[in-house]
């Protein structure tokens, strides 16, 4: 991660959506092979009570592995999610970070709304090419 700054107090570390999406996109290379199935099983098997936000709007045919975080950080209320969506060999990594939410449900609704708009185009066949530097889909 290029912009991660650790803080000695929980909730004070700084992350960026770009770093989180990059981490999830590369998770297969970052988790040792012998632990990969276990790690991905944990990220795909989040308990129903915490499957809010992105998992609620995953397009048909896609599988999501994700991690969320919420609560009062050192200075502000945050609600975050980062995910890897897969469909066959297709992979899409997404991270949505929010701050200064009046409540966790408000932050979860914000993530759900943003994800619904971001993931809208995944329902059909993906067309385009992947750029190696940022791995974003470029529509022709």
Residue matched to tokens 């990969």: 36
Tell me if 23 is assigned to some domain: yes
Q: At 82, which CATH number?
A: 3.40.710.10
Tokens of 115: 């994800």
- Is there a contact between 28 and 36 (Cβ–Cβ < 8 Å)? yes
Largest CA distance in the chain: 46
Lowest mean pLDDT among 28-37, 51-60, 131-140: 131-140
In a domain, 76, yes or no: yes
Residue 103 lies in a domain: yes
Please indicate, yes or no, if residue 117 is contained in any of the structural domains: yes
User: What is the tens place of the pLDDT at every residue in 39-91?
Assistant: 999 999 999 888 999 999 999 999 999 999 887 766 677 889 999 999 998 89
Mean pLDDT of the chain: 84
> How confident is the model at residue 138, as a pLDDT?
44
**Does residue 1 fall inside a structural domain?**
no
pLDDT band at 11 (very low <50, low <70, confident <90, very high): low
Residue numbers of the domain that contains 76: 17-138
Residue 8 included in any domain: no
Counting the structural domains of the chain, the total is 1
């Amino acid at each position: 991660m290029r912009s991660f700054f650790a803080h000695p107090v929980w909730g004070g570390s700084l992350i960026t959506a770009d770093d989180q999406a990059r981490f999830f996109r590369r998770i297969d290379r970052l988790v040792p092979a012998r632990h990969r199935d276990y790690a991905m099983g944990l990220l795909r098997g989040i308990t129903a009570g915490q499957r809010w936000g992105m998992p609620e709007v995953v397009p048909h045919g896609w599988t999501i592995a994700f991690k969320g975080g919420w609560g009062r950080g050192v200075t502000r209320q945050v609600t975050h999610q980062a995910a890897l969506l897969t469909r066959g060999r297709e992979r899409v990594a997404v991270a949505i970070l929010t701050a200064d939410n009046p409540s966790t449900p408000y932050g979860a609704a914000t993530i759900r709304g943003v994800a619904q708009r971001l993931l809208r185009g995944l329902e059909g066949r993906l067309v385009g090419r992947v750029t190696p530097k940022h791995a974003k889909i470029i529509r022709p």
